[in-house]
Structure formats: structure tokens, C-alpha cells
């Protein structure tokens, strides 16, 4: 009896062990859990795709090969790919099959995904409902979609947003649009219905300004053309924000709209500003081989009387360390500049400048030459980038009691993206001067100057910049040579590198001077704030109109290093003359703050 019981227990134990072995064996054959801690995504392949390539599909996926596999993220990727097809008009696109294969050695899971793209769906009729402000024909002309196009869901949504923006520009800020796609008898053609809820127009209530301390509200309001009771139009609000910011007095300018969230018919505007520092200091420096050093200091205020008036005090000093005939060359210039942005409370800009200049160098025949003068001009902005000025200049030459009485007109067109480090745009200027005759003074001359600079972004922060200048002056009536202080000169760091400062000029006794100057620079970034520049300069000064021959140009070329700052680059240039026999070792070194043009 005991033997039978033992025999039964023994057989039960064998069956139990066999069952466990079978269970273990089954578990090994089953796929590894997809969300296992060591499982990575392997290769993902697609079949059935013709609209998009393998690379385009995998490129849109967040899940990438070699990363830890997450089924939730993978499912989101599949939905994203289906939406890609739907945007292209393949509304029936779907994944028919999802085959997986687990590699236990590499702990990777590969997928083969079969896509059913379906047929391309097209747009049938386009209808509008609820519109009274705009007719169907006007709305149709503005649509990003039209009958016969592929049914692009993104374009349909963009059209809805565009209609909302269109209504907002009429003051209907609460307008809404619901787009509905309706199937037709043809399963591959769908109609679109835009249901528009126009709402009611929104008006401006109170306008308040906050945050200003040293800047008067008068200055801010003068730049704004919004009034209580006007329709609230987003683009006008943005333009006013930009105009206030362009004053250069604030680090932050923003509008807050009270009542917009509550969809009130009247919305109050709060313009919040944060003032910048109005007073500033500046300096510049320079060095020109072999021994000329320059230093400039300036102080200014952008809001001296709280009404946007600007004042600048500036000095420029140049000194030659070497001697000629026992004398050091030098230049000492002092300036006081003032700007009134609303002259006589009119939209006219008025500016005045008083200066004192003293020099002793080759251009002054190594005798002190002192000039005291002033200039005043009044102008108006014709457009955002174009300004025109009418001005008057008076100058007294102390050593000879020579006076100049000069009236001039000038214009500028400037759309550079940055005043100190431009990467695109242009700056064009022209000026005509008439001195003497009925204006009095010791000098009778006419002078004209034209100048242009263009900046092109070639990509990867590489800038191609070029500059051209032409100027001419001639005397009349009391005919004599061009006044010494008006003689045209070239040479130096700002116009013709490879030459000393003002090295090139016309005959001293000439009654006519003509100047032509051209510059070309390729500005290349090197590392962070450092850059390099390859440049070519050319030009000359002639003593007469008939003498101008471009074949007689003087040229210079060289390389430069740049360290970029918010107020322009610190530049180190080395240039050699290119006419005649070029001598690499005979070049000029220049150190300056700011671009040559």
C-alpha cells in the first residue's frame, strides 16, 4: 500500500517538473516584452509608400534607432505619419500591418510597417456661411485653397486662421471660423464649408502710459496715432509699439489690453515702457603706421530736456610721434552737436553743430591751421528710410581771416539692418553745396558728393560689402584755387588702405578737384566674436574734370582681423599698394574702432 502511494507521488513530481520545463521553454520562445528595460529600437522599414520616401518618413519620427524603445512614443509617431499623408490629401492613409522581430543578442526590435496610402482626395465646392462683412468672392480671392486642389488639411486650417486675421484687421477681434469637410458622392472629392461667426467690432477705450520716469508722456504720445473710440486693429497697435520703441529711449515697450479676455466691446490699452539710460559715454582709438595715433572721446544724452532733444560733446585727437622739420604733426577737433526732433512742434528735425578744428601737417604746409565754424540744418522724413535736409554752414579760418558761407541740401536713404554691424541693406547719400556769391564770405565754390554702400548676406554669416564715393568741387566768380580746408584727399584707414592719411591730393593751385573712391570687403566669421576680412580699395584725386581717368587709379589690398562688439568691430588691417611693384613688406598697419564703411 505504501509502495503504491510513493509511486503515485513520484509520477506527480515528474509531471510537475515536465510542466515547469515546458513553461520555461515557452517563455523563452515568446517575444521579449517591448517595454523591457534593455530593449532598443532597431531598423524601421516601410512598404507600400510612394508619396514619401523611407528617409522622409523616418526623419519625421521621434523614435530613433538605438534609443530605448517606448511603445507610446512609437504609436504617436505612427499617428504623426498618418497626419503627414492627410495634409497631402491622402485622407484614407493608414497602417495595414505592423510586423516586429526581436533580436535577443542585440536586444533590438525591428519593425516592418505596411502603409495603405489610399487615393488622393481633391477639393470640391467651397462655401461660406455667416459672412456679411466680406462677400464670398472676396473671401475666395484670399484663400490658400481652391476647387480642384489636393485636400490639404493644413492649408484648410491656415485659411480659417487667415479669415480670422482678416476680420481682426477690420476691428472684429472676436470673429471665429469653423471649417468642416463634407464627403460627396465621389469618395475622393470633398466639399469645404467655412462657418463664420463675425461677432461685433471692438473699440479702443482709455489709453494709459505707465513706466516712464524721465521721459515725458508728451514724447510718447507724439509717436502714437491711436485715439479713444477708434476701432481696435492689431496691426495699428503693433505699429505704434514699434514707433515708440524706435525712439531709442526704452529697453521694453509693450501693450496690455484690458477687457480682451472678457470679450468686451471696448478694450482699454495700457502702454508699459521701461526706460533705458539716457546718458552715455563713448571712445574710439586708432593707429596708423608708422607713428600716427588717434583718440576720440564723447559724451551724449538722448533726452536732455525730457522732450527727446539730443546733445553730444566730442573730441578727436590725432598725433604723429615722429617729427618732420622738427615738428610733430597733429589734429585737434572739438564738436558740440544738438538735435531737436520736432522743430517748432512740427514733424521736422532740426540740428546744429559748433566745431573748432586745429591741425598741423603736410596738408597745412606745416603751419597751424585753425577753423571755427558751425552748421545748422532742418529736414523731414519722407518715408521710413528717406530723409531730406536743407542747411547752412559758416566757417572762419583764423590764420588768414578767410570765411566760408555755404548753403546745402542733402538726402539719405538708409535701410541697413544694423547701424554698427550691417549684414544686409544699403546706405545712400547725396549732398550739394553752394558757397559765396550772394551768400558772402571769402570763397566761391560749388561742391557735390554722392556716396553709396551695399551689404549682402551670402549665408553662414558671410557678408559681401561694397562702397563707392564720388565728389567734385570747383571755384567760380573770384576764381582761385580750391580753399585749403575744402581740398579733396584720399588715403588712410577709412577710404584707401595701403596709403598714409590724406596722402593723395590734387595740385595745390588747382581750381577743380575730382575724387573717386571704391571699396570691396568680404567679411567672414572665424570664431564666436572674431572675424576676418579680405578687402580691395581703389581711387584717386584729379585736378580737373577732363583729367579723370580711371586707369590712373591708386589701389590697395589686404587682410584684416575683426573683434565684433555691439558698437562696431575693433579692426586690425594690413594693406599694401597694388599699383606698380607690390611689396608685401612695405604695407601699412591700421587699428581702428568701427568698419571703414
Higher pLDDT, 236 or 36: 236
What cell was used for 220?
A: 510718447
Is the model's pLDDT at 109 over the cut of 80? yes
Per-residue model confidence (pLDDT) at position 20? 40
pLDDT of residue 262: 94
Cα 571 to chain centroid distance, Å, stands at: 22
Query: Given this model, what pLDDT does residue 229 score?
Result: 96
3-state helix, strand, coil in the chain (%, to 5): 20, 45, 35
Report the DSSP pairing between strands 108-116 and 40-47.
parallel
d(CA 393, CA 407): 6
Stated as kind and residue range, the H or E segment containing 336 is strand 330-340
Q: What angle do CA 476, 480, 483 make, to 5 degrees?
A: 95
Residue 560 neighbours by CB under 8 Å, 6+ apart: 532, 533, 534, 535, 571, 572, 573, 574
Q: Considering the chain, what percentage of its residues have pLDDT values greater than 90?
A: 67
Q: Given a cut of 50, is residue 3 above it in pLDDT?
A: no
Per DSSP bridges, beta strands 203-210 and 266-275 are parallel
Could you give the CA distance from residue 428 to residue 450 in angstroms, rounded to a whole number?
Answer: 8
Question: Which pLDDT score is estimated for 81?
Answer: 94
Integer CA distances (angstroms), 231 to 203, 204, 265, 547, in order: 4, 6, 10, 64
Using the 8-state DSSP alphabet, how is residue 584 labeled? G
Alpha carbon distance 320, 360 (integer Å): 10
Q: What is the residue-wise DSSP string for 179-200?
A: EEEEE-SSTTEEEEEEEEE---
pLDDT at 7 over 60: no
Average pLDDT of the residues in 21-37: 39
DSSP-derived letter for residue 327 is B
Place of cell 551724449: 300
Q: Is the pLDDT of residue 226 over 50?
A: yes
| pLDDT beyond 50 at 349 | yes
CA-to-CA dists, residue 210 to 213, 256, 277, 364, angstroms: 9, 11, 17, 56
Confirm if 63 and 74 have CB atoms less than 8 A apart.
yes
Contact 179, 128 (CB under 8 A): no
Return the axis-axis angle of helices 153-168 and 71-87, rounded to nearest 10°. Answer: 70
- Contacting residues for 344 by C-beta, under 8 A, at least 6 apart: none
**Residue 175's Cα: distance from chain center in Å?**
34
135-174 pLDDT tens trace: 998 898 877 778 888 888 888 888 899 999 999 999 999 9
520 beta partners: 466, 536
d(CA 585, CA 590): 15
Angle at 215 between CA 225 and CA 236, to 5 degrees: 20
Closest CA to 200 of 170, 178, 227, 235: 170
- Give, for 342, the enclosing helix (H) or strand (E): none
Residue 100, C-beta contacts closer than 8 angstroms, at least 6 positions apart = 31, 34, 109, 110, 111
pLDDT at 17 over 80: no
Select the more confidently predicted residue: 200 or 567. 200
Smallest CA-to-CA distance from 65 within 40, 30, 94 is with 40
pLDDT at 26 over 60: no
594: its cell numbers: 568701427
pLDDT at position 354 is 98
- Among 95-109, 329-343, 512-526, the range scoring the smallest mean pLDDT is 95-109
Alpha carbon of 85 to those of 49, 53, 88, 119, 445: distances in Å?
Answer: 10, 12, 5, 11, 74
| 3-state class (DSSP) for residue 447 | strand
Q: Can you give the length of the chain in residues?
A: 597
- The pLDDT > 70 percentage for the chain reads 93
What is the rounded end-to-end Cα distance, in angstroms, of the chain?
A: 116
Comparing 16-20, 103-107, 395-399, 401-405, the range with the smallest average pLDDT is 16-20
pLDDT 10s digits, 272-324: 999 998 888 888 889 988 888 999 999 999 888 878 899 999 999 999 988 88
Q: Which residues pair with 410 in a beta bridge?
A: 389, 431
Cell of 497: 588702405
pTM of the model: 0.69
Mean pLDDT of the chain: 89
Q: What is the pLDDT of residue 580?
A: 66
Angle (CA) 478-480-482 rounded to 5° is 120
Q: Of 1-5, 89-93, 98-102, 187-191, where does the model show the most confidence?
A: 98-102
CA distance 295 to 111: 70
**Which of 32-46, 177-191, 235-249, 394-408 is predicted least confidently?**
32-46
pLDDT tens digits, residue range 499-555? 988 899 998 889 999 999 999 999 999 999 999 999 999 999 999 888 888 788 899
Contacts of 114 (CB under 8 A, 6+ apart): 46, 47, 48, 95, 96, 97, 98, 99
Query: Are 223 and 237 within 8 A, CB to CB?
Result: no
Give the pLDDT of residue 27. Answer: 35
What cell was used for 136?
A: 464670398
Q: Mark residue 539 as left, alpha or beta (left: phi above 0; alpha: psi -120 to 50; beta: remaining).
A: left
Q: How many CB atoms lie within 10 A of CB 331?
A: 20
Residue 181, C-beta contacts closer than 8 angstroms, at least 6 positions apart: 151, 156, 190, 191, 192
pLDDT digits (tens, 9 = 90+) for 30-75: 344 444 456 899 999 999 999 999 999 999 999 999 899 999 999 9
Please give the pLDDT value at position 10.
41
Amino acid at each position: 500500500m505504501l509502495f503504491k502511494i510513493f509511486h503515485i507521488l513520484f509520477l506527480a513530481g515528474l509531471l510537475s517538473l515536465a510542466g515547469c520545463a515546458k513553461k520555461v521553454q515557452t517563455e523563452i520562445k515568446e517575444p521579449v516584452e517591448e517595454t523591457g528595460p534593455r530593449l532598443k529600437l532597431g531598423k524601421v522599414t516601410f512598404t507600400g509608400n510612394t508619396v514619401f520616401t523611407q528617409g522622409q518618413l523616418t526623419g519625421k519620427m521621434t523614435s530613433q534607432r538605438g534609443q530605448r524603445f517606448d511603445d507610446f512614443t512609437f504609436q504617436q509617431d505612427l499617428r504623426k505619419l498618418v497626419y503627414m499623408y492627410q495634409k497631402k490629401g491622402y485622407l484614407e492613409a493608414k497602417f495595414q500591418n505592423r510586423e516586429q522581430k526581436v533580436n535577443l543578442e542585440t536586444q533590438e526590435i525591428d519593425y516592418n510597417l505596411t502603409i495603405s496610402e489610399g487615393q488622393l482626395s481633391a477639393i470640391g465646392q467651397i462655401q461660406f456661411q455667416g459672412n456679411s462683412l466680406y462677400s464670398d468672392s472676396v473671401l475666395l480671392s484670399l484663400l490658400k485653397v481652391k476647387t480642384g486642389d489636393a485636400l490639404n488639411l493644413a492649408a484648410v486650417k491656415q485659411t480659417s486662421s487667415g479669415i480670422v486675421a482678416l476680420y481682426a484687421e477690420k476691428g472684429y477681434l472676436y470673429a471665429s471660423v469653423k471649417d468642416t469637410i463634407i464627403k460627396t458622392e465621389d469618395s475622393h472629392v470633398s466639399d469645404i464649408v467655412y462657418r463664420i461667426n463675425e461677432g461685433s467690432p471692438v473699440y479702443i477705450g482709455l489709453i494709459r502710459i505707465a513706466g516712464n520716469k524721465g521721459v515725458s508722456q508728451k514724447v510718447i504720445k507724439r509717436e502714437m496715432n491711436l485715439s479713444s473710440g477708434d476701432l481696435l486693429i492689431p496691426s495699428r497697435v503693433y505699429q505704434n509699439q514699434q514707433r515708440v520703441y524706435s525712439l531709442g529711449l526704452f529697453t521694453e515697450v509693450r501693450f496690455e489690453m484690458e477687457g480682451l479676455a472678457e470679450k468686451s466691446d471696448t478694450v482699454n490699452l495700457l502702454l508699459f515702457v521701461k526706460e533705458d539710460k539716457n546718458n552715455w559715454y563713448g571712445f574710439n582709438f586708432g593707429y596708423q603706421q608708422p607713428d600716427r595715433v588717434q583718440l576720440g572721446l564723447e559724451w551724449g544724452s538722448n533726452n536732455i530736456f525730457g522732450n527727446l532733444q539730443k546733445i553730444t560733446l566730442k573730441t578727436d585727437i590725432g598725433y604723429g610721434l615722429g617729427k618732420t622739420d622738427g615738428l610733430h604733426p597733429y589734429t585737434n577737433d572739438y564738436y558740440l552737436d544738438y538735435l531737436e526732433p520736432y522743430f517748432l512742434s512740427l514733424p521736422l528735425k532740426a540740428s546744429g553743430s559748433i566745431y573748432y578744428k586745429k591741425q598741423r601737417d603736410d596738408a597745412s604746409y606745416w603751419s597751424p591751421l585753425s577753423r571755427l565754424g558751425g552748421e545748422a540744418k532742418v529736414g523731414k522724413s519722407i518715408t521710413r528710410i528717406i530723409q531730406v535736409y536743407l542747411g547752412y554752414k559758416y566757417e572762419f579760418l583764423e590764420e588768414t581771416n578767410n570765411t566760408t558761407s555755404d548753403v546745402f541740401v542733402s538726402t539719405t536713404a538708409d535701410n541697413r539692418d544694423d547701424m554698427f554691424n550691417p549684414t544686409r541693406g544699403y546706405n545712400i547719400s547725396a549732398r550739394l553745396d553752394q558757397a559765396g556769391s550772394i551768400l558772402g564770405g571769402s570763397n566761391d565754390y560749388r561742391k557735390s558728393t554722392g556716396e553709396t554702400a551695399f551689404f549682402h548676406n551670402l549665408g553662414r554669416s558671410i557678408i559681401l560689402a561694397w562702397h563707392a564715393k564720388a565728389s567734385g568741387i570747383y571755384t567760380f566768380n573770384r576764381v582761385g584755387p580750391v580753399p585749403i580746408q575744402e581740398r579733396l584727399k584720399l588715403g588712410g584707414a577709412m577710404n584707401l588702405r595701403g596709403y598714409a592719411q590724406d596722402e593723395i591730393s590734387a595740385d595745390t593751385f588747382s581750381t577743380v578737384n575730382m575724387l573717386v573712391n571704391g571699396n570691396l570687403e568680404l567679411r567672414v566669421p572665424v570664431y564666436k566674436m572674431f572675424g576676418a576680412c579680405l578687402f580691395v580699395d581703389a581711387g584717386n584725386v584729379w585736378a580737373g574734370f577732363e583729367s579723370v581717368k580711371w586707369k590712373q587709379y591708386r589701389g590697395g589690398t589686404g587682410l584684416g582681423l575683426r573683434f565684433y562688439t555691439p558698437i562696431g568691430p575693433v579692426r586690425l588691417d594690413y594693406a599694401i599698394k597694388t599699383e606698380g611693384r607690390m611689396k608685401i613688406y612695405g604695407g601699412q598697419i591700421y587699428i581702428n574702432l568701427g568698419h571703414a564703411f
